[in-house]
Amino acid sequence: MKCNTWESRKDAILSGYGKTLYFMIGFFGIIYYNIGNLRLHAVCYYAHLEGNMSILKVARLGNPVLRQTAATLTAEEINSLYVQKLIDDMVETMREYEGVGLAAPQVHESKQIVVIESAGSIRYSEAPNIPLTILINPVISYYSEEKADGWEGCLSVGDFRGVVPRSTSVKVDTLNRKGKKVSIDASGFFAIALQHEIDHLNGIVFLDRMKDLKNLSFLKEYERYWAKE
């Protein structure tokens, strides 16, 4: 009789443990499944973002964002999916509008990011080929004493060209899109583009650099009267 009672209790205990174990396995299995689904959805979402670059709206002269000093980026920010997509969108926007350079404040993002590229630009037919260059937190550490006057335009200033004095060569210390330190020695058109775009990060547009506003021209008049100089 006692043995039967013990056996019954043992079966009940084991049955209770079994139910608890079964419940725990099921509970954590559901959690694991949901976490896996969340990860899968996140991967698919960001893959969707990476595969769909956007044409961004360009800030025009008068927008306060063009007069602000842009914020530097931390390593964590540089590696974020948001900033990486912003860089891709800036490149796409620059190409869409036939620019040879674009700074983040020009697309309403007060961040120290610049993209530069020149490859058969219609707006700047005289520009040499410049491979796609990404600059983050750039600083010009050297300006040549030699300067030259040259015509410049800007997506944020509209259909204008103006004569701006610039150093003919510069050295830029910057981070690339992977957050690695890079130094760039540039001369000629590339040096001018670097100075122009980095000015944007400090709230400066090319009009501020002009010595004489008499040398400001609408684009069509520039092409008709001055482009062949």
For the annotated catalytic residues, the residue numbers are: 197
Task: Indicate the burial class of 19 (C-beta count within 10 angstroms; 0-12, 13-18, 19 or more).
Answer: exposed
Q: Which residues have a Cβ under 8 Å from the Cβ of 61 and sit 6 or more positions away?
A: 156, 157, 158, 205, 207
3-class DSSP state for residue 33? helix
Question: What are 62's two structure tokens?
Answer: 């008068």
**CB of 199 within 8 A of CB of 138?**
no
Question: Which residue in 56, 147, 148, 143 sits closest to 102, CA to CA?
Answer: 56
- CA distance linking residue 191 with residue 124, whole number of Å: 15
State the pairing for strand pair 169-175/181-187: antiparallel
- CA distance linking residue 68 with residue 142, whole number of Å: 23
